[in-house]
Amino acid sequence: MKFNITQSAFVEGLMKVNKVISSRSSLPILQGVYVKATEDEIVLTGSDANETIIHSIPVTGEDVVVEETGDTVFPKQVIDIVKKSRKHLSIDLDGTVTKIKSGKSEIELNCLDPEEYPSFVKVDEKEPDLVLDAAQFKTLVSKTSFAAAKTDVRPVLQGVYYNVTEDCMNLTCTDSHRLAVVKQKVESKQAIQMIIPASSLDNALKIFGMNGEIEIFSHSDNALVLKDGPTLYQTRLLDGNYPETSRLIPDSFTSVMKINRKEFLEGLELIKEVANSNTSNENGVAKIHVNGVASLSSTKAETGKGKIDIPYDSLEGEQEAFTISFSVKYAIDSLKALDCETVDFSFVADMRPFLLKPSDMTDMEECQLILPVRTV
């Protein structure tokens, strides 16, 4: 294998695949970067066995030239070497040793046997199950994945439930204390149901750009493949049955308060400093009392107490006043996910879940559900 390539193109590809490479992998071969040079492209692959990124660099005949085809597995040190190299590099593999020349420098790296590198799912890239605008894909993920469980007590709750019919895509995510749901009209070739690890979707956002389209391929081998131009991202799916969450969402409310999202969020960010203890930044509890004004308050023995009054736009329903306690973190996360000017705070009872939804209708249906916290 022998090729010449610009430093910028090589670094871009190496940095993408590096996002899933772990130095703690139980398979030494997966601690490196698989590189394959063909007449048409140079393909870089990184994997931790659960997640895989494949990035292709087309052979242009100018900035990227392949003189001899072949493949090898570079040790991970190649990334830092290439980052510190000059604008043009010459890569020459001789047996298991690769020479990297750049300007006046020459580095020799001992490489691993490419035959030992695992093979991954093959997809028919001409027939994606679904195509989404890249910005739309990022929006859908950012509105749901944060609500996934952070522990593996119930592994399926670490994922986002992805349910597609012919004309609608539903994403659902819950850790059993909160629930995020979005629905978007789409055109799909087939119905799809799968549980995608939330961490995998977050990683995909880090490597995909905001322009262009994301192609989605489901696979019978319990895998999902996402494609953004020259970059493929593959992840294993979670096994199990996702809980039926639709029954958790109330269909009627005793009160609905319309309130400015930014002012509500700023109030919660401030009250959080009192609500959170010195040892944890996630377990703070706030109380909201609505009666002419929305009063946020919190009391913590070691920090003190605070109260903030926030005016609301309107209050409708049979109950003219209500009080409910909830996790400050969950409310902040939910309000950040709702990209709108005003939200509807829909209340049923002090120990029933409440909803946060955009006040104005859009082509995307979304809601954030939060369970209350029992306080003395």
Query: What pLDDT sits at residue 124?
Result: 60
DSSP E strand stretches across 84-198: 88-94, 97-102, 105-110, 130-133, 159-164, 168-174, 178-185, 192-197
Average pLDDT, the chain: 91
Q: Please measure the distance between the N-terminal and C-terminal CA atoms of the chain and give it in whole angstroms.
A: 70
Q: Does residue 65 have a pLDDT over 90?
A: yes
CB atoms near residue 17 (< 10 Å):
23
Query: What pLDDT sits at residue 73?
Result: 96
pLDDT band at 293 (very low <50, low <70, confident <90, very high): very high
Mean pLDDT, rounded, for 201-218: 88
Mean pLDDT, rounded, for 290-305: 89
DSSP assigned state of 207: H
Question: What is the C-alpha separation between 137 and 233, in angstroms, rounded?
Answer: 14
Query: What pLDDT sits at residue 186?
Result: 86
Query: What pLDDT sits at residue 193?
Result: 92
Query: What pLDDT sits at residue 220?
Result: 65
pLDDT digits (tens, 9 = 90+) for 165-187: 878 999 999 999 999 999 999 88
Query: What pLDDT sits at residue 275?
Result: 86
Query: What pLDDT sits at residue 123?
Result: 64
Specify the pTM. Answer: 0.90
* Best mean pLDDT range from 86-100, 113-127, 290-304: 86-100
pLDDT digits (tens, 9 = 90+) for 235-253: 999 999 999 998 999 999 9
Instruction: Tell me the percentage of the chain whose pLDDT exceeds 70.
Output: 96
Question: What is the C-alpha separation between 195 and 201, in angstroms, rounded?
Answer: 11
Q: Does residue 304 have a pLDDT over 70?
A: yes
Question: What is the C-alpha separation between 273 and 265, in angstroms, rounded?
Answer: 13
pLDDT digits (tens, 9 = 90+) for 340-374: 999 999 999 999 999 999 999 888 999 999 999 98
Mean pLDDT, rounded, for 263-282: 82
For residues 366 and 340, the answer to whether their CB atoms sit within 8 Å is no
Dig out the tokens for 100 from the structure: 């990297």
Mean pLDDT, rounded, for 336-341: 95
Q: Which of 229 and 258 is assigned the larger pLDDT? A: 258
| Structural domains of the chain, with CATH | 2-116 (3.10.150.10), 130-236 (3.10.150.10), 249-370 (3.70.10.10)
Query: What pLDDT sits at residue 211?
Result: 84
The length of the chain is 376
Q: Does residue 283 have a pLDDT over 80?
A: no
pLDDT band at 279 (very low <50, low <70, confident <90, very high): low
Query: What pLDDT sits at residue 276?
Result: 81
Q: Does residue 41 have a pLDDT over 80?
A: yes
Residues 6+ apart with CB under 8 A from 53: 16, 17, 19, 20, 45, 46, 47, 207, 231, 232, 233, 234
pLDDT band at 218 (very low <50, low <70, confident <90, very high): confident
Phi/psi for 297 (5° steps) reads: -145, 160
DSSP assigned state of 220: T
Question: What is the C-alpha separation between 28 and 115, in angstroms, rounded?
Answer: 13
CB atoms near residue 302 (< 10 Å):
7
